[in-house]
Amino acid sequence: MRGGLRCISGCAGWSCLRHNTRDLPTSLLITGASQLLTLGGCDPRRGAALAHLGIIQDGALLVGDGLIRALGTRRTLEALPEARGAKILDLGGRVALPGFVDSHTHLIHAASRAEEYEMKIAGRSYEEIARKGGGILNSVKKLRAATSEALKRRARQALAQFAAYGTTTIEAKSGYGLDVASELKILRLHKELAADQPLDIVSTFLGAHIVPREYRESPTGAKRYIRLLTEKLIPEVAQAKLAEYCDVFCDRGAFTREQAKQILEAGKRHGLAPRLHAEQLTRRGAAQLAVELGAASCDHLEQVNSSDIAALAKSETVATLLPGCDFHLGLEHYAPARKLIDSGAIVALATDYNPGTSPTVSMPMILSLACTQLRMTPAEAITAATINAAYALGRERHIGSLGVGKFADLAVFEVADYREIPYYFGMNTCWLTIKRGVVVHAANKTAH
Ligand code: NIG
Ligand code: FE
Quick check: is 122 in a domain?
A: yes
pLDDT band (50, 70, 90) for residue 136: very high
pLDDT band at 420 (very low <50, low <70, confident <90, very high): very high
271 in a structural domain: yes
Task: Please tell me the predicted confidence (pLDDT) of residue 23.
Answer: 44
Q: How far is CA 98 from CA 2, 92, 147, 214, in A?
A: 22, 17, 35, 44
* Cα torsion angle, 350, 355, 361, 367, sign: negative
Q: Which of the listed residues 334, 354, 360 should we mutate to test ligand 1's pocket, taking the one with most ligand atoms within 8 A of CB?
A: 354
What pLDDT score does 131 carry? 86
Smallest CA separation from ligand 1 atom 1, residue:
352
- pLDDT tens for residues 50-60? 999 999 999 99
In a domain, 2, yes or no: no
- Is residue 7, in this structure, part of any structural domain at all? no
Ligand 1 pocket mutation, candidates 328, 357, 360, criterion most atoms within 8 A of CB: 357
- Please state the rounded mean pLDDT for residues 30-38: 98
140 plus 36 within the same structural domain: no
Cα–Cα distance between 363 and 318 in angstroms, integer? 18
Looking up residue 124, the CATH number of its domain turns out to be 3.20.20.140
Query: What does 354-374 look like in DSSP terms, one character per residue?
Result: BTTTB----HHHHHHHHHHTS
How many domains is the chain partitioned into structurally? 2
Same domain, 223 and 307: yes
Which of 365, 392, 419 lies at the terminal end of a domain, its last residue? 392
* Same-domain pairing of 70 and 36: yes
Using the 8-state DSSP alphabet, how is residue 272 labeled?
Answer: P
Mean pLDDT of the 384-400 span = 98
Among 374, 392, 410, identify where a domain stops: 392
* 35-39, 43-47, 434-438, 442-446: least confidently modelled range: 442-446
Q: Which strands sit side by side in the sheet containing 347-349, from one edge to the other?
A: 100-102, 167-173, 200-208, 245-250, 273-278, 297-300, 318-321, 347-349
Does residue 322 sit within a domain? Answer: yes
Q: Which domain holds residue 198?
A: 101-392
pLDDT at 21 over 80: no
Same domain flag for 134 and 219: yes
User: What percent of the chain has a predicted confidence (pLDDT) above 90?
Assistant: 92
Question: Residues near ligand 1 with C-beta < 6 Å?
Answer: 135-136, 139, 249, 277, 280, 325, 352, 354-357
Confidence grade of residue 132 (pLDDT, cut at 50, 70, 90): confident
pLDDT digits (tens, 9 = 90+) for 252-273: 999 999 999 999 999 999 999 9
Separation of CA 127 and ligand 2 centre (Å): 15
Record the pTM.
0.94
* Shared domain check, 301 and 219: yes
**356 and 265 share a domain?**
yes
Residue 445 pLDDT grade (very low, low, confident, very high; cuts 50, 70, 90): low
Per-residue pLDDT for 84 more than 60? Answer: yes
Whether residue 346 sits in one domain with residue 432 = no
Q: Based on the domain organization, do 92 and 128 belong to the same domain?
A: no
Residues 341, 436, single domain; the answer is: no
Q: Same domain for 140 and 167?
A: yes
Q: Which residue has the higher pLDDT, 10 or 92?
A: 92
Q: What is the CATH classification number for the domain harbouring 413?
A: 2.30.40.10
* Distance from the alpha carbon of residue 321 to the mean position of ligand 1, in angstroms: 13
123: left (phi over 0), alpha (psi -120 to 50) or beta: left
Q: Do 235 and 384 fall into the same domain? A: yes
**405 and 342 inside one domain:** no
- Rounded Cα distance between 102 and 167, Å, is 7
Closest residue by CA, ligand 1 atom 8: 356
> Which ligand is closest to the CA of 172, given by its number?
2
Lowest-confidence region among 9-13, 385-389, 404-408: 9-13
Sequence length of the chain is 448
Distance 4 CA to ligand 2 centre (A): 38
For 2-11, 102-111, 202-211, 292-301, which range has the lowest pLDDT when averaged over its residues? 2-11
User: Residue 358 C-alpha to ligand 2 middle, in angstroms?
Assistant: 9
Q: Which ligand is nearest to the CA of 355?
A: 1
Residue 365 lies in a domain: yes
